[in-house]
Structure 1
Amino acid sequence: MTELARAAASESGDDSGSGQPVLDRLVNLLDLEKIEENIFRGVSPPNSPTRVFGGQVAGQALVAAGRTVPAERHVHSLHAYFIRGGDPAVPIVYEVDRVRDGRSFTTRRVTAVQHGKAIFALSASFQLAEAGVEHAGVMPDVPAPETLPTLAERVAPYAETLGDHRVGPRPLDMRYVNDPPWVTRETGGWEGRNQVWMKADGVLPDDPLLHVCVLTYASDLTLLDSVLAEHGVYWGLDRVLGASLDHALWFHRPFRADNWFLYDSTSPTASGARGLATGRFLAHDGSHIATVVQEGLVRVL
């Protein structure tokens, strides 16, 4: 599941637009029910699409893992596989395996189950804060997010063509730096990078794990667009089938997901009906806060 509109719909039960109410529904979606030691239950919202959005199940699985880890240990990496399409009509059960509790690192494995079968598997590592060597790349030279059109303004000229694929409630404020893929598909102006400013469209509670989970949710919204843009096709406009296959995230520095961050992504290769996309998240001050890699199923019929 990669279309942004379906992703946005997956955390919301209505079409009330954006802002704090929509963000609050995403926060509630990530607040799992504990049903037994190491077992949690999450739900999908009403009016969901036919499959659970990958960012939702990844965020919920990370919440389940984090709830079994001491608060002073923060997640620094996760690796996940999307095994089966999730059914939004029934709850998802998250089973946590406490793999290891070391002096500095904690490892957890989470399996998401529906109808007696695994639909998603995640491994996550948590670490006590430590001082050490530091370096990072340079922030791209991009306009400030406040100077860029909103997503609604970007979509408006193409609303009839895009249909349901870019409309609906959104918990994130998104501002494209370059022309979006549905524009470059027509103009041929793709320059090999997809750059989007994002932030939670409201204020989040002061829970570091929640901010990480919101960024995990965001990381699955536009990443595979980089693969499609290389070939001038797009979800809903062309005969394209796609799904996330696996997903890896590394978290480098503390951040708040309700402050602006730049999602800078590209696709180095595609073959065998699979496309690889890589991205990095940079805070407004240029600090490198996270890195993501995803392989997705991409079938252009």
Structure 2
Amino acid sequence: MSALKGRLLLFTFAILTLFSISWLLSKNLIGSIPVMHAVGLRLWATTAALWLIVAFRERAVWASIPLRSKMPGFFLLSILGFSLYFASSFGALKTLKASDLTMVLATIPGITYLLGFLSRSLGFSWLKFSGVLIVSAAALAFNASGNEGGAVSPAGIALALVAAFSYAVYGLLSKRYLKDLPLLTSLAWVTLISAMTFVPLFVIEPAPLLALNLNDALKVLLLGAACSAPVYVLYQKVLAEGGVLYANAIGLLAPFAVVTGEWLIGAGAALSAVKVIAMAAAVIGITLLFVDASGSTGWHVKRRSPDSRLVRK
């Protein structure tokens, strides 16, 4: 196994593990804290953790970043990947069931591929196309299985699509705005800017913060510092080495991982035939994307000849 494949596998399993823990903790936390307050507090904990690491790991390069020229890019990424994504997805939950929201968010790899192909930042390959198609269909089938149906809010679907589009663009633009920059310092700035957008919410509705108990505060700290901060760093590493399609597809596997874990410990419901087939299909789809990603060079720029145009993979 090549070093690249080994790193991608390690990063993938780490992201899935942290995603699953984060999902379970979040589910427990929002029972006592309003969702948007929980998201804001979690983001502040993530920001604090990243800046603490920067102080020890990247202090020497901190001052070397030309902030005046990079801040617009950081601001755009903070809105697309965090503020707008969270506001839209959780706003959609007001009128959608969680399964409906998850099905819409399952389109993120497909939207990413379409936007990347149209903007010529992603080339066509049968591995990419087949992998995205299979893993997206598997996620849709998995979350549709057992859904009670009923009327679906157009406004909720629209907000969910905004969230999916926002995150897809974030993944594509990360290549442009974070390339050749110190990773931790860049992410610390991006999350700080996003965290600041939650301050007005805290000022307007301070009651949930004042009622925060020690147990919930520890959950927020664990979610933000121990789960989210490493995931954001690992996501950028996977995006850099394996490409945006593979990085965005990993998130689709989190519900599979959570349900599998609950089933293994006997805490989940019995898996239907549709869910089992969808899980098998997801493995096939992500494997195709992994094979494609492990042969890529991420952000590396190749020259085919001295006179040829630069080509990004």
- Higher strand content, 1 or 2: 1
Q: Under a length normalisation based on structure 2, what TM-score does the superposition of the two structures give?
A: 0.26
Bigger Cα Rg? 2
Larger RCO (CA within 8 A; separation ≥ 6)? 2
Structure number with higher helix proportion: 2
